Amino acid sequence: KQEVTQIPAALSVPEGENLVLNCSFTDSAIYNLQWFRQDPGKGLTSLLLIQSSQREQTSGRLNASLDKSSGRSTLYIAASQPGDSATYLCASQMDSSYKLIFGSGTRLLVRP
Amino acid sequence: EPEVTQTPSHQVTQMGQEVILRCVPISNHLYFYWYRQILGQKVEFLVSFYNNEISEKSEIFDDQFSVERPDGSNFTLKIRSTKLEDSAMYFCASSTMAYEQYFGPGTRLTVT
């Protein structure tokens, strides 16, 4: 059974810092991995999707990488801004399934 | 930009009552999903729907739950007899294939 873990649970950084959020999964037979942003009391905004055949995806200041063999994905945020403050979730989709399996998220605070 | 919409944003109901949560997926999407997030917990998969039938469901999705696509635009989740533990944020999502999933803003269900 796939388990998705995110470390750290919370992170506080000063504005301008580059940071890395970590996501690990126990079963490497994933179809893709998706990163989301969730603001308090709000829905999930898709940030990046990495297919199993890809190593990384980039969108603006965000870069996500995927290493299936080690069961890890990272989300790199460059030059963080207070507006980046939110909870970041990763979710894996398995080869044989439609569902996303979510981690518990990393709550990010970027201090001005 | 097309988006998934959900109504109502907040629903309060008494235990034992039936509720219907409504979603309008992105128009050219073919796969539809419901997830829920109990306060402070992970986002959990409930059900996926494709070609007018359930393609996958979780253990949570028991006989109290049902889904329907009553017309070409709406996708609904019905809970027949709500329990206190059904209180959660319910998210609808859609995708073109079994691929990047786009989430709606959610319906907060409160069962009293």
Q: Which of A74, A30, A73, A35 is nearest to A53 (CA)?
A: A30
Residue B98 has pLDDT above 70, yes or no: no
Q: Both tokens of residue A9?
A: 């649970």
Q: What is the pLDDT of residue B18?
A: 97
Distance from CA of A20 to the nearest CA of B (A): 21
- Per cent of chain B over pLDDT 90 is 86
B6: DSSP letter: E
Inter-chain CB proximity B105 and A42 less than 8 Å: yes
Q: Both tokens of residue B17?
A: 């009552």
Q: Residue B64 — pLDDT band, cuts 50, 70, 90?
A: very high
Contacts of B3 in chain A (CB under 8 A): none
Cα–Cα dist A40/B69, whole Å: 29
Instruction: Encode pLDDT of A74-101 as tens digits.
Output: 999 999 999 999 999 999 998 888 899 9
Inter-chain CB proximity A98 and B102 less than 8 Å: no
Residue B1 has pLDDT above 80, yes or no: no
Q: How many CB atoms lie within 10 A of CB A16?
A: 11
Q: Residue B70 — pLDDT band, cuts 50, 70, 90?
A: confident
Residue B97 has pLDDT above 80, yes or no: no
Cα–Cα dist B42/A3, whole Å: 12
Q: Residue A42 — pLDDT band, cuts 50, 70, 90?
A: confident
Q: Given A43, A91, A102, which is nearest B105 (Cβ)? A: A43
Inter-chain CB proximity A43 and B104 less than 8 Å: yes
Interior/surface letters A68-84, b for 16+ CB within 10 angstroms, e for the rest:
beebebbbebeebeeeb
Cα–Cα dist A15/B103, whole Å: 29
Q: Residue A14 — pLDDT band, cuts 50, 70, 90?
A: very high
Average pLDDT, chain A: 94
